[in-house]
């Protein structure tokens, strides 16, 4: 994939430095009064593919949005490339985001423009490249995800797996140094799932990027990532390389790896005792 | 007693919530103006929105204008001929349209045709995370999505109102002169003599311009501020149409009372 070297030239010097690309320290965050993250510490070394795993609603998407600067933490810091994300002004943040790519949980393709224009969007907004060059770049990105032939389709004509891949092509359009994937595997059949997993790994290595992947598909994740963080109740509860995770005796990791319904992670959303709720309802509703 | 307290609490909540929203809207309007540069430096963005809100509203505006003109012709003639002044029909039709019906009815139609579409579009983009995605791509959604739609509406509105009036006058002419047989010469000459450019036409244009700002702002704000679900977007669309209609009629009263005070 020769096209990938296109924008990363400026990045070459920093790729070799030992400093990690992303450092998260003591990160706390709440929506209104509801605490979501309660002290997260993570380090993403350059060039690695990192997975963040945890049950639905444990704050994974929130964490990605904090890294991208779309939310502000109540305390703690996120440093990307040495710069503290939440101390930057709007223009600094936008300059940083040009070098980040995010794959949204549901693709978030622009529905009013074609697949081609979706992938070309960032190139047209941020560069003055002539249209022929944009065309070549877009087709190269689409080729990398195997959808060059779909460039004239509209987003509503795509299947779920195809839409995910187009969103992926769009996210890598500017050859980001940091890629973030929000549940890239949900809703995909096993074949598309494997395809996307391999793509994520290949793109990370070809771009010389660093990637973070939020997911709960443990099997696929173990095959492709370099390092895994497990989150629960807003904290990191376990971490390690896939081999370390397999060997782990930690009850949380065990529950997750073996997909058990109840364990340290409760099946129930916190609620009053069932019997009490039912009796309460019978005697005149909530207090 | 408890009931009273509950009612007062609800009232208080309602009022503070409205005030908050008004504050949000003011802040939003300010941001919109700050980020309007791109709209005018990239005319294609603006032209696209003028096409969507202006050109696609043309049919309903022209057809409605024609019917309103036809009705004005009939009703006007019916009343005027009782006083033997049916040749003043041209004045009546033109003044009613240029001063009032053109700006007001065109704005009401515009709010339900284009305003609702803009709210739906922005609301759905929000609900499907397109706005967040754009923001993550370092493209400001207010500059790229909201501002062009706002200005597209502001520019289209006076043009549509003018067309509405023009077609309406033609409708009045059709009924009055062609079907009923009012004298054609006096129809046009009386109209020309009595419709003043500054007090009538300019004031009509100012009105439609103000209505355009109101409708376009309400439409983009409701979309941008909608709750990002199917139900939230549908409620936002309803609010656009209702709030716009009220705003147009209230503003019309205020503007009219300033403009035609001496008459
Ligand atoms: N915009 C929001 N306002 C209030 N609460 C939210 C919002 N978004 C998410 N939450 C809550 O924050 C928690 C974490 O959400 P999220 O980060 O989306 O979880 P995950 O991606 O791990 O499934 C959830 O309990 C969710 O209910
Ligand atoms: Mg999520």
Cβ contact B138–A111 (<8 Å): no
- A262 at interface of B, judged by CB pairs closer than 8 A: no
Determine if ligand 1 sits within 6 Å of the CB of residue A20.
Answer: no
Tell me the pLDDT of chain A (287 aa) as tens digits.
444 444 444 444 444 456 788 999 889 999 988 899 988 899 999 999 999 998 888 889 999 999 999 999 999 999 998 888 888 888 899 999 999 999 998 889 999 999 999 999 999 989 888 999 999 999 988 988 888 888 889 999 988 888 888 998 999 888 899 999 998 888 777 887 888 888 899 889 888 889 999 988 888 888 899 999 988 888 888 888 988 888 888 877 777 777 666 666 666 666 777 777 777 655 544 44
**Chain A residues with beta carbon closer than 8 angstroms to that of B144:** 125
B259 confidence band (pLDDT: 50, 70, 90): confident
Ligand 1, atom 24: closest residue by C-alpha = A57
Q: Tens digit of pLDDT for each residue in B21-73?
A: 889 999 999 999 999 988 888 899 899 999 988 888 999 999 999 999 999 99
What pLDDT sits at residue A29? 92
H-helix or E-strand containing B223? helix B203-224
Say what the ipTM of the complex is: 0.81
- B51 at interface of A, judged by CB pairs closer than 8 A: no
Contacts of A48 (CB under 8 A, 6+ apart): A210, A211, A226, A227
Minimal-distance CA residue of chain A relative to B128: A108
Ligand 1, atom 4: closest residue by C-alpha = A31
Q: Tens digit of pLDDT for each residue in A49-106?
A: 999 998 888 889 999 999 999 999 999 999 998 888 888 888 899 999 999 999 998 8
What pLDDT sits at residue A3? 42
Cβ contact A108–B129 (<8 Å): yes
Q: How far is the centre of ligand 1, averaged over its atoms, from the C-alpha of A127 (Å)?
A: 34
Q: How far is the centre of ligand 2, averaged over its atoms, from the C-alpha of A57 (Å)?
A: 7
Determine if ligand 1 sits within 6 Å of the CB of residue A27.
Answer: no
Measured between alpha carbons, how far is residue B205 from residues A176, B14, B107, B208 in Å? 50, 36, 12, 5
B166 confidence band (pLDDT: 50, 70, 90): very high
Cβ contact A111–B124 (<8 Å): yes
Q: Evaluate whether B150 touches B217 at the Cβ level (below 8 Å).
A: yes
Cβ contact A108–B140 (<8 Å): no
pLDDT, average across residues B238-257: 94
pTM for the complete prediction? 0.85
H-helix or E-strand containing A26? strand A22-31
What pLDDT sits at residue A283? 52
Count of A-B CB contacts under 8 Å: 49
Instruction: Identify the bridge partners of residue A42 per DSSP, sorted by sequence position.
Output: A24
Reduce the DSSP state of residue A265 to 3 states and report it: coil
Q: Tens digit of pLDDT for each residue in B112-131?
A: 999 999 999 999 999 999 99
pLDDT above 70 covers what percent of chain B? 99
Atom of ligand 1 nearest to the CA of A54: 22
Determine if ligand 1 sits within 6 Å of the CB of residue A59.
Answer: yes
Q: Which ligand is nearest to the CA of A182?
A: 2
> In 3D, which of B154, B176, B157 has the Cα closest to residue B94?
B176
Measured between alpha carbons, how far is residue A12 from residues A5, A79, B120 in Å? 10, 19, 44
pLDDT, average across residues B163-191: 91
What does the alpha-carbon distance between residue A232 and residue A235 come to, in Å, rounded to a whole number? Answer: 5
Residue of A70, A98, A111 with shortest CB distance to B132 = A70
Instruction: Identify the bridge partners of residue B216 per DSSP, sorted by sequence position.
Output: none
Contacts of B242 (CB under 8 A, 6+ apart): none
Ligand 1, atom 17: closest residue by C-alpha = A59
Residue B157 backbone phi and psi in degrees, to 5:
-55, -55
What pLDDT sits at residue A15? 44
What does the alpha-carbon distance between residue B134 and residue B73 come to, in Å, rounded to a whole number? Answer: 51
Tell which A residues from 89 to 118 touch B, by Cβ distance under 8 Å: 94-95, 97-98, 100, 102, 104-106, 108-112
What does the alpha-carbon distance between residue A126 and residue A66 come to, in Å, rounded to a whole number? Answer: 23
How do A49-53 and A227-232 pair as beta strands?
parallel
Q: Evaluate whether B228 touches B132 at the Cβ level (below 8 Å).
A: no
**Chain A residues with beta carbon closer than 8 angstroms to that of B129:** 104-106, 108
The DSSP code sequence of A110-126 is -TTS-HHHHHHHHHHHH
Minimal-distance CA residue of chain A relative to B130: A108
Distance to chain A for B67, nearest Cα, Å? 34
Atom of ligand 1 nearest to the CA of A60: 22
Q: How many residues does chain B have?
A: 263
Minimal-distance CA residue of chain B relative to A103: B133
What does the alpha-carbon distance between residue A152 and residue A136 come to, in Å, rounded to a whole number? Answer: 14
Ligand 1, atom 14: closest residue by C-alpha = A59
Determine if ligand 1 sits within 6 Å of the CB of residue A33.
Answer: no
What does the alpha-carbon distance between residue B236 and residue A281 come to, in Å, rounded to a whole number? Answer: 34
Determine if ligand 1 sits within 6 Å of the CB of residue A61.
Answer: yes
């Amino acid at each position: 994939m020769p096209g990938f070297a296109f924008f990363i030239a400026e990045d070459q010097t920093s790729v070799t430095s030992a400093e990690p690309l992303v450092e998260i320290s003591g990160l706390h965050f709440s929506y209104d009064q509801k605490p979501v993250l309660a002290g997260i510490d993570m380090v993403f070394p350059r060039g690695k593919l990192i997975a963040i795993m945890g049950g639905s609603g444990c704050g994974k998407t929130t964490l990605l949005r904090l890294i991208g600067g779309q939310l502000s933490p109540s305390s703690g810091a996120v440093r990307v490339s040495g710069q503290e994300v939440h101390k930057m002004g709007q223009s600094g943040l936008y300059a940083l985001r040009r070098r980040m790519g995010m794959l949204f949980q549901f693709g978030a393709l622009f529905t009013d423009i074609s697949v081609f224009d979706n992938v070309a969007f960032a190139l047209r907004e941020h560069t003055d490249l002539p249209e022929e060059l944009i065309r070549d770049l877009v087709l190269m990105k689409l080729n990398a995800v195997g959808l060059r032939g779909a460039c004239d389709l509209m987003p509503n004509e795509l299947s779920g797996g195809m839409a995910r891949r187009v969103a992926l092509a769009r996210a890598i359009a500017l050859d980001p140094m940091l890629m973030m994937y929000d549940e890239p595997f949900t809703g995909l059949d096993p074949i598309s799932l494997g395809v996307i997993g391999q793509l994520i790994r290949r793109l990370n290595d070809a771009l010389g990027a660093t990637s973070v992947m939020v997911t709960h598909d443990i099997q696929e994740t173990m095959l492709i990532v370099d390092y895994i963080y497990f989150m629960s109740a807003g904290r990191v509860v376990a971490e390690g390389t896939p081999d370390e995770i397999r060997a782990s005796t930690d009850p949380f990791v065990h529950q997750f790896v073996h997909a058990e319904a109840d364990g340290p992670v409760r099946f129930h959303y916190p609620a009053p005792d069932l019997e009490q709720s039912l009796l309460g309802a019978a005697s005149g509703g909530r207090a | 007693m408890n009931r009273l307290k509950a009612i007062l609490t609800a009232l208080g909540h309602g009022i503070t919530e409205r005030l908050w929203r008004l504050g949000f809207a003011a802040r939003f309007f300010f941001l919109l103006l700050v980020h309007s540069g791109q709209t005018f430096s990239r005319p294609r963005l603006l032209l696209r929105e003028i096409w969507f809100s202006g050109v696609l509203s043309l049919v309903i505006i022209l057809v409605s204008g024609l019917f309103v003109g036809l009705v004005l012709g009939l009703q006007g003639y019916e009343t005027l001929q009782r006083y033997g002044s049916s040749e003043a029909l041209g004045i009546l039709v033109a003044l009613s349209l240029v001063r009032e019906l053109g700006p007001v009815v065109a704005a009401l139609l515009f709010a339900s045709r284009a305003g609702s579409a803009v709210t739906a579009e922005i609301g759905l983009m929000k609900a499907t995370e397109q706005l967040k995605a754009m923001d993550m791509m370092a493209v400001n959604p207010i500059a790229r999505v909201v501002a062009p739609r706002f200005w597209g509406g502001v520019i289209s509105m006076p043009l549509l109102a003018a067309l509405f009036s023009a077609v309406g006058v033609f409708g009045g002419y059709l009924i009055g002169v062609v079907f009923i047989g009012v004298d054609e010469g006096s129809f046009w000459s009386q109209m020309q003599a009595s419709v003043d450019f500054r007090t009538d036409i300019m004031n009509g244009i100012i009105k439609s311009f103000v209505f355009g700002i109101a409708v376009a702002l309400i439409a983009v704000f409701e979309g941008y501020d909608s709750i990002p679900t199917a139900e939230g977007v549908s409620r936002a669309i309803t609010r656009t149409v209702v709030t716009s209609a009220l705003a147009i009629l209230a503003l019309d009263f205020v503007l009219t009372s300033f403009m035609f005070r001496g008459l």
